Amino acid sequence: MPDIENRLLGTAQEPALVALDAYRKQGGYTALQQALTKLTPAQVIDEVRAAGLRGRGGAGVLTAEKLSLAARAAEEPKYLVCNAYDADARSLISKTLLAKNPHLVIEGMALAAFACGASEGFLYMRSGDAALVETVRGALREAQERGVLGHGIFGSQFELAITLTGVEIGFMGGEESTLIQVIKGRPAKAQQRPPYPTDFGLFDRPTIVLNVETLCNLPLIISRGGEAYRRTGTTTSPGTKLFTVLGPGLPPGGTLVEVPFGTSVQETLREAAAAANESVARAVVIGGMEGGLLPLAQLRTPLDYEPLEEAGTIIGSSIIEVLPQDTCMVRWAQERSAYLAEESCGKCVPCRVGVKRIAGTLEGISSGIGVNGDLALLEEFSHYVPDGSLCGFGVNAAHPTVTAMKYFADDFTAHLEGRCPTGTCLPARTHRFVTKHVL
């Protein structure tokens, strides 16, 4: 693969840019200095708009639109939150960016804060890795001591304070409205929108929440220009995307790759040196724990928001997982649904109860006690759960079941006939639970 012009991580041979001096030698903080001394906040937003940068957190919202909404908000103060909390703990994206180049994250936060008029930011991350937390805390301290955070940055009137917030609260910790509640010291529950955070967010003030990978693109855009940034990727999704790849031939924790948007799943697996052929694999899951699966025949699908959505899955947590050849898709969907049922914040009845019903129904089918009516029930719940949920967790929770039924219907048929197609399923229970008029 040719070199990617706006590579975020560099090559494996390059040292980690943990120290500020190392980052400055590679051109770090020149974009921030350029913005503060030569550009207005509106011009920074215009450059981001010209680049066509989309949020890397899963939804793909245009970053310039979020910046503009926060900039137009009249109330003060305004807040910026960097979401560096990977909901799917298997993801390597946030932890790698923070460990290898925390000053890139800090510079991206400063540029976004300048553009939207925020003077206080929160770097929100998982707290389980104490060494990583200390690395980030040290980078923030160094940036403060060296004058790239605080008052009068680069001789301008701009000031920014960043608070490190570390939590470990499961999958829902990465959801936008939930993390705002957590920072405010409230229970980790999703909130109804509207109002959106750009109008009514942290401490009831305008707040912009941006994914850590999104923010890491801002210095590249400002230093090289929006039009140059568009040379990589697709027309609708310029730039590159980081993916965690898990599967045969890879280390147990997987590997991290960066590819231009529009690269096929097959090419990305090849870039990661992951085996994905019929002798070792049966399907590939895109999007993490809430992602859907694709059969091997569809590995030419481009890694982009709209093509993946058409195929039934999502960018999501940006995890590409190769499923072994002996995977029974009924059991796989049941295990994913059971995990998601446990991770639901429980605020929405359709999500809290619906995902649990999906998992229970799948458990019955995989145990050999399913009936034909179960498939109709699963189809009903695949609409009921997303339609009645407040946040993206519930909207995406049915993807494993929907794609398993779509692409591997024969596995469900086989189980309804009393046999597991791969011979790997053991009954989890021996009788059906019958309820009346209860969801």
Q: Which of 19, 18, 9 is nearest to 92 (CA)?
A: 9
pLDDT reading at 396 higher than 90: yes
- The tokens describing 190, both together, are 């999703």
Is residue 265 a part of any domain in this protein?
yes
In terms of domains, do 348 and 292 share one?
no
**pTM for this predicted structure:** 0.94
Q: Among all chains, which residue has been given the structure tokens 């991580």?
A: 9
In terms of domains, do 343 and 252 share one?
no
- The tokens describing 405, both together, are 């039924």
In terms of domains, do 106 and 177 share one?
yes
- The tokens describing 13, both together, are 């041979």
CA Rg value for the chain: 23
pLDDT reading at 439 higher than 60: no
| Amino acid residing at 288 | G
pLDDT category at 57 given cuts 50, 70, 90 is: confident
Tell me, what CATH number does 258's domain have?
A: 3.10.20.600
Q: 229, 263, 297: which is the final residue of a domain?
A: 229
**Starting at the edge strand that comes first in sequence, how are the strands of the sheet with 240-246 ordered?**
255-260, 240-246, 319-324, 281-286, 292-295
In terms of domains, do 108 and 152 share one?
yes
* Mean of pLDDT values over 291-320: 96
Residue 121 bridge partners (DSSP): 80, 162
Long-range contacts of 383-388 (CB under 8 A, 24+ apart): 384/350, 384/354, 384/439, 385/350, 385/351, 385/354, 385/355, 385/358, 387/350, 388/348, 388/349, 388/350, 388/351, 388/354
Is residue 305 a part of any domain in this protein?
yes
**Is omega for the bond preceding 195 within 30 degrees of 0, making it cis?**
yes
Q: Identify the weakest region by mean pLDDT among 1-5, 117-121, 153-157, 164-168.
A: 1-5
- Per the prediction, the chain carries an average pLDDT of 93
Is residue 93 a part of any domain in this protein?
yes
Q: Identify the weakest region by mean pLDDT among 241-245, 248-252, 270-274.
A: 248-252
pLDDT reading at 248 higher than 50: yes
pLDDT reading at 349 higher than 50: yes
Q: Identify the weakest region by mean pLDDT among 2-11, 98-107, 317-326.
A: 2-11
CA-to-CA dists, residue 424 to 332, 365, 401, 420, 430, angstroms: 11, 14, 18, 7, 17
pLDDT category at 429 given cuts 50, 70, 90 is: confident
Q: 285, 300, 324: which is the final residue of a domain?
A: 324
* Mean of pLDDT values over 196-224: 96
SS3 403: helix
Is residue 184 a part of any domain in this protein?
yes
CA 173 to chain centre: 12
Is residue 14 a part of any domain in this protein?
no
Q: What is the pLDDT of residues 265-292, one digit of tens each?
A: 999 999 999 989 999 999 999 999 999 9
- Could you tell me what percent of the chain has a pLDDT over 70? 95
Rounded distance, CA 381 to CA 355, Å? 8
In terms of domains, do 271 and 314 share one?
yes
pLDDT value for 430: 81
Residues whose CB falls within 8 Å of the CB of residue 110, separated by 6 or more in sequence, listed in order: 32, 148, 149, 153, 160
pLDDT value for 249: 84
- The tokens describing 356, both together, are 């649990």
In terms of domains, do 269 and 384 share one?
no
In terms of domains, do 187 and 266 share one?
no
pLDDT category at 166 given cuts 50, 70, 90 is: very high
| Domain membership of residue 307 as a residue range | 240-324
pLDDT value for 16: 73
Of 142 and 17, more confident: 142
Residues whose CB falls within 8 Å of the CB of residue 203, separated by 6 or more in sequence, listed in order: 79, 184
Q: What is the pLDDT of residues 63-114, one digit of tens each?
A: 999 999 999 999 999 999 999 999 999 999 999 999 999 999 999 999 999 9
pLDDT reading at 14 higher than 80: no
pLDDT reading at 3 higher than 50: no
Is residue 315 a part of any domain in this protein?
yes
Q: What is the pLDDT of residues 173-190, one digit of tens each?
A: 999 999 999 999 999 999
Tell me, what CATH number does 405's domain have?
A: 1.20.1440.230
Is residue 9 a part of any domain in this protein?
no
- Could you tell me what percent of the chain has a pLDDT over 90? 89
In terms of domains, do 182 and 291 share one?
no
In terms of Cβ atoms closer than 10 Å to its own Cβ (0-12, 13-18, 19+), residue 186 is exposed
In terms of domains, do 294 and 339 share one?
no
* Mean of pLDDT values over 1-17: 54
Give the DSSP per-residue string, 217-251.
Answer: HHHHHHHH-HHHHTTSB-SSSBSEEEEEEESTTS-
pLDDT reading at 13 higher than 90: no
Rounded distance, CA 326 to CA 259, Å? 29
Is residue 280 a part of any domain in this protein?
yes
Q: 324, 343, 361: which is the final residue of a domain?
A: 324
Alpha helix ranges (H) inside 166-313: 176-183, 212-224, 226-229, 265-271, 305-311
pLDDT reading at 8 higher than 80: no
* Mean of pLDDT values over 292-314: 96
In terms of domains, do 342 and 309 share one?
no
In terms of domains, do 210 and 85 share one?
yes
Q: Identify the weakest region by mean pLDDT among 11-20, 35-44, 70-79, 208-217.
A: 11-20
Considering its fold, how many domains does the chain have in total? 3
In terms of domains, do 288 and 191 share one?
no
